[in-house]
Structure 1
């Protein structure tokens, strides 16, 4: 693509050495990924500044650079913009010919449940015979191909490249997780969202964004900036989310787990052996796209456990109905859906129960422990991977959430781990994070042992497990490899166990295998 055509959409402040046109064969924001005839975009990141690597990009083949500050001694075209991250999004969308415009893209944001909601939607769409893509924190999917994800929402260049692949393969529907970081860092600025949803909001990323208000500003921008003619699905059980009803150009559809004034709500929710069934009520007739969604009432049974699964299911149902999916396909998809790895996932269900859960923040913890309280069991063995690089606030709140359940779940001991060797540098636990977790747990009178590695922590816990107990593998990145370690341990101590059946729950995992 010609450089002149590529940069038309940019708000250019100034240029240097830009005299004739150039053919651009690709774009890169990492200098080492630059190839011959590439455009390099220098981004000022949190850790380093891409402007430092302009010479390296030229050595690798860059023929032009987009910058926020001019660099002296550079003899190729420099195009100066006020925000190179924003420019990267515009350039990427243009380079790949606006691929997201050619498929139905559904953007799902929430503090909790984005992953499960998008996977539920994917299952529903597949049952309705649509070809699907999937973009999120666990994996990215193009048709039948799965690729591990590096970020919850990819950088804008990688995102539009992914949409380009999807367009070539005829993908029709793309449920997509939209993180607060992606919104704040302009990664999704030029994605053509047809449906957006906001399911819940709590305090997980305060340290990352600087304040609760900035986190809300980032998160809510998905709804506030939704295009005219699109559909915004809002959970009116959340008071802050309700305030967005009048702050978007999109057509608003409301949903609720209990509020009969919502456009779509649930009733008669039951939890049987940890799994929910309920009735969905479509409270009014409305038009969405070329579909007329009529007043209705129908039963849904979930194939996965947990109260949090109900909250995720209602948004998936509301999106699917708005997108014209028949209720029979919604029922079939949700009953057949067996969950997402590490989201209250049963990985061993025999003489005792082992559950693997992301356990990310206080809301996630509360719904997981509430579900556990409804499951008959003798003792609970809680193995917790302390959250690394999430700050003191999150770790203190998580510890307090566990403490609040100590009497109801008879929690007398917790085994903690820093997951050394199982996480990369970005998820290492700091001394401050370990201390605030330890102080909060022990001050509540709960015994706590913290081990450096997952292997040590898991072995200590499993040696105490008896019949009808529950083992909870709890934690985010630090517990990703926990299930594999647990199953390896069980295979070593149970010589008569069927190996294929034992490892079946993690056979299709993308991470933590």
Structure 2
């Protein structure tokens, strides 16, 4: 692509590609200097030049660089435009389904990905549980990749004949311009509860970040909104005159569920829409997953999939990795692994297991380091309030000492139905060894994650695999 396609400049040369990391620059690439939280890309402009960059895009002239320098006001804003152009405007060939909200994005996106197989063409998914399309699977670094890698992924999807993409869109992604130059067929809102308030100053700021997704809807696009959430009501008011479907457990919703019945094996409910009633059976557990199913149904329907096709696809749905995932090796008690890591998410999961419990609820849980510290005592208090027995343990400590995190969690707790076991594997082992017939063990916080993140380096730790190994040992010892 000629540089004059991107900028009105006096230069005349071809741009081969795009890079933000000098170590990944190839000959002929345009290097964009991004100011990060800890590193400023301007410092590496000379290294990018030495690696073969044809020009740099920067916010100020960098001394010592002799290749052309194109100065812009904000390189973070410029990056998505450049990526969109250089990779051939791939989103014009895709239908994007963006999902945002505090909790439920991953499960709803998983269900929606499954439903979208009812359309012709390949289906893509981008989110916390990975990046999937055609025969490709990649581990994600963030819920929503940066603009450069996102547009590159979209271009690869187009090559693989992908037509529809379910993508989790985090508030960070919206604020940091990662999804700029994306037009969405569907923007779905799950809910909004306190989270990431170390990044967003207030809940209103958090909401405004989420609202940005709905400004990116195509003219024929739909907003799919959880009307039972107060912020969902606020969204509906803002979107008057636009295409909107609502969902919830109340009759005011366009898609609403009634007669919800739950067991430890799954959930059934009646879906009511357009004066019709449809029976829905799902292996997913909990009322919160009824919301997730409703949101996915509304999204697929708004894009043109018939209700009959939706129900056919739903009948083939399997449980989601690390989301209320049952670990069943034939033991006489229930083990559930879940990703719940926010106060709202933890409370909803605990409410569900209390609704179905026969004897005791035992919880293994921690809080991550380098994240919102205010939620630590809240999550701990919810755990001891709802569970009969709680083991507080290490989540992903990152740069913090796990003992410090655990001290903050238990500070002020008056109940005595808890203990602290720093080693997470040992904590899971304690819960499984002490479990009695018909107990429920909830291992919360990490879900599908396979690595535990420490300052000294990451270690392999998958709660599901640990639970399976310990269950096998217990069953073999009988």
TM-score after normalising by structure 1: 0.85
Q: Which residue matches 2:257? A: 266
Q: Secondary structure at the match of 2:289?
A: helix
**Cα distance change, pair 228–125 in 1 and its aligned pair in 2 (3 A):** closer
Q: Which residue matches 1:357? A: 338
- 1:211 and 1:222 mapped to 2: Cα distance? 18
State yes or no: 1:111 paired with 2:102: yes
The answer (yes or no) to whether the contact 2:84–2:90 under 8 Å persists in 1 is yes
One of 437, 460, 463 as aligned partner of 2:409 = 437
- 1:249 and 1:140 mapped to 2: Cα distance? 34
State yes or no: 1:25 paired with 2:5: no
- Aligned-pair distance for 1:362? 1.5
- 2:186 and 2:476 mapped to 1: Cα distance? 51
- 1:187 and 1:273 mapped to 2: Cα distance? 39
- 2:372 and 2:127 mapped to 1: Cα distance? 23
State yes or no: 1:186 paired with 2:157: no
- 2:143 and 2:85 mapped to 1: Cα distance? 23
Q: Which residue matches 1:287? A: none
State yes or no: 1:59 paired with 2:50: yes
Question: Structure 1: which 5+ runs fail to align?
Answer: 9-17, 284-294, 498-513
- 1:73 and 1:241 mapped to 2: Cα distance? 52
Q: Which residue matches 1:381? A: 362
Q: Secondary structure at the match of 1:304?
A: coil
Q: Secondary structure at the match of 2:467?
A: helix
Q: Which residue matches 2:235? A: 244
Q: Secondary structure at the match of 2:103?
A: coil
1:37-436 equivalences under 5 Å are 37-128=28-119, 130-248=121-239, 251-273=242-264, 275-283=266-274, 295-348=275-328, 350=330, 351-406=332-387, 411=388, 413-419=389-395, 423=396, 425=398, 428=400, 433-436=405-408
Q: Secondary structure at the match of 1:111?
A: coil
Q: Secondary structure at the match of 1:418?
A: coil
Count of residue correspondences: 466
**Cα distance change, pair 162–178 in 1 and its aligned pair in 2 (3 A):** same
The answer (yes or no) to whether the contact 2:121–2:161 under 8 Å persists in 1 is no
State yes or no: 1:463 paired with 2:444: no
Which deviates further from its counterpart, 484-493 or 474-483?
474-483
The answer (yes or no) to whether the contact 1:198–1:223 under 8 Å persists in 2 is no
Which deviates further from its counterpart, 262-271 or 364-373?
262-271
- Aligned-pair distance for 1:490? 3.0
- 1:281 and 1:349 mapped to 2: Cα distance? 37
Q: Secondary structure at the match of 1:397?
A: helix
Structure 1 runs, 4 residues or longer, greater than 6 Å off:
none
The answer (yes or no) to whether the contact 1:122–1:134 under 8 Å persists in 2 is yes
- 1:313 and 1:40 mapped to 2: Cα distance? 42
Question: Structure 2: which 5+ runs fail to align?
Answer: 454-460
State yes or no: 1:450 paired with 2:421: yes
State yes or no: 1:481 paired with 2:472: no
Q: Secondary structure at the match of 1:400?
A: helix
Q: Secondary structure at the match of 1:300?
A: strand
The answer (yes or no) to whether the contact 2:257–2:290 under 8 Å persists in 1 is no
- 2:263 and 2:435 mapped to 1: Cα distance? 25
- Aligned-pair distance for 1:152? 0.3
User: What's the Cα RMSD here?
Assistant: 2.3
TM-score after normalising by structure 2: 0.91
**Cα distance change, pair 462–278 in 1 and its aligned pair in 2 (3 A):** closer
- Aligned-pair distance for 1:19? 4.3
- 2:366 and 2:360 mapped to 1: Cα distance? 20
- Aligned-pair distance for 1:433? 3.3
Q: Secondary structure at the match of 1:196?
A: strand
